[in-house]
Structures are given as C-alpha cells and as structure tokens.
Amino acid sequence: QQTSKRLRKFPNILVTGTPGCGKTTLCENIVSAMAQQNIKYNHLNVSQIAVDGKFTEEYDMERQTHVLDEEPLLDHLEEILSDFEETGYVVDYHSSELFPERWFDAVVCLATDNTVLYNRLSKRGYAEQKIQENLQCEIFQVCLQEAQESYDKDLVLHLVNDTDDDMEDNVESISKLINTGINSRRN
Ligand code: ADP
Ligand code: MN
C-alpha cells in the first residue's frame, strides 16, 4: 500500500475531539510551527473537504450536520495522502473510526473543560440543544473512546486544550513528536 507507515518520511497525525475542542486551530498552528522549521505539513479539514467536494449525502436537519458519503470521501483522502514525498498531513475530524488505521502514526484527542466548551460553542452560534449534545459527548469522552478502540492505544494522546498556554504546549509537543518521527525514519 502507498500509504504504508514505513514508506512515509513524515508522520501523519489525526487530530480528533468534540466540536469546539480546538482541532482546526491546533492543526493550523502545527502547520505554521513546522513551516518555521522548513518542514511542509498539510492540514486536511475533513468536514470542509467533504462539503467542498460534495462528498455528502442528505443534510441531517435534526442533528444539523452533513451526512458523509464515506466511500468516495475516503478514496479522495487516500489519494491526497498518497502524495507523501514532500509533505506530512494533519487530519482534522471529530470522528476517527472511519479512517484506515494505517493512515496515522499518532492520534491526538483534545479535551476541553465543559464551561470553556459551552462558551466556545455558544460563540459559534450553535443552538442550545446542539451545545448540550456536544457537552455530553465531551463528558462521556466519546471521541477518546472511539480513538482508543480504533487505533493502537499507545498511539493515542489525550491533551487538554482549554487555554492559550495549553495550545502552545500542545503545538510544541506535537511538533516534537513529528520531529522524532522524521528522525527515526532517516535511520
Ligand atoms: P474545532 O475545530 O475542534 O471545532 P476550533 O479550532 O474551531 O475547534 O476552536 C473553537 C474555538 O475555540 C475557536 O474560536 C478557537 O479560537 C478557540 N480555541 C481553540 N483552542 C483554544 C485554546 N487552547 N485556548 C483558547 N481558545 C481556543
Ligand atoms: Mn474545526
């Protein structure tokens, strides 16, 4: 397989967690941090790619979310990921079980305090019911459990992401992890 872990020069990272936990911001910051070291990373925002590329089925009115047309979306993503000579990828999605395990070298699941998460989601203009659903999802660690069930547990990192300081720490530790991965592949 083209996406076999051993062939990649750059480790691919999946960033998952409840909506509002900071996935997109973290991924953008990782890309910038790596760029400062002249290492190219690409941010794949799966929801965005699904909407832009029309890899969606009907809109789920009740849950106010797009239902993915998974098979073609996964084929499309795999095609992007198979271009791995010059770049690594940070993949951004709230769910993790749909992706093949071989795509990722590490899975980061962000954790957010409930009050902080409430404020972020209400700023985003989410309806109260949708906010409550997401808070429940965070309380029951749905994304973490899904990640731990779908990937080697040793590859799953659970990182608190409440404050700007947390964000800085998270960017630094993931950049280190990426660099360690790159160096170990050189040998
Ligand atoms: P997600 O992609 O997981 O839905 P976002 O990256 O869009 O989350 O972040 C949601 C909101 O929370 C944004 O307004 C972002 O600026 C803010 N945010 C994310 N992480 C942090 C953090 N560590 N500290 C403070 N604000 C944050
Ligand atoms: Mn996002």
Q: Give me the interface pTM, i.e. the ipTM.
A: 0.99
Q: DSSP letter string over 49-75?
A: HHHHTT-EEEEETTTTEEEE-HHHHHH
CB count within 10 Å of CB 86 equals: 9
Is 163 a pocket residue for ligand 1 (Cβ < 6 Å)?
Answer: yes
Distance 186 CA to ligand 2 centre (A): 33
pLDDT of amino acid 180:
96
Distance (Å, whole) CA 96 – CA 119: 25
Tokens in use for 51? Answer: 């909407």
Distance (Å, whole) CA 27 – CA 14: 9
Distance (Å, whole) CA 180 – CA 45: 24
Is 95 a pocket residue for ligand 1 (Cβ < 6 Å)?
Answer: no
Tokens in use for 64? Answer: 């106010």
Model confidence at 4: pLDDT above 70: no
pLDDT in tens, 64-123: 788 999 999 999 999 999 999 999 999 999 999 999 999 999 999 999 999 999 999 999
- Mean pLDDT score across all residues of the chain: 95
Q: Which ligand is nearest to the CA of 51?
A: 2
Instruction: Give the residue among 167, 187, 178 at the shortest CA–CA distance from 36.
Output: 178
Q: How confident is the model at residue 1 (pLDDT cuts 50, 70, 90)?
A: very low
Of all residues in the chain, what percent carry a pLDDT higher than 70? 97
pLDDT of amino acid 187:
65
Residue 183 exposure: Cα atoms within 13 Å on the Cβ side: 6
- Kindly state the DSSP code that residue 54 receives in the 8-state scheme: T
Model confidence at 128: pLDDT above 70: yes
- Please report where in the chains the tokens 């209400």 appear, as a residue: 122
Is 137 a pocket residue for ligand 1 (Cβ < 6 Å)?
Answer: no
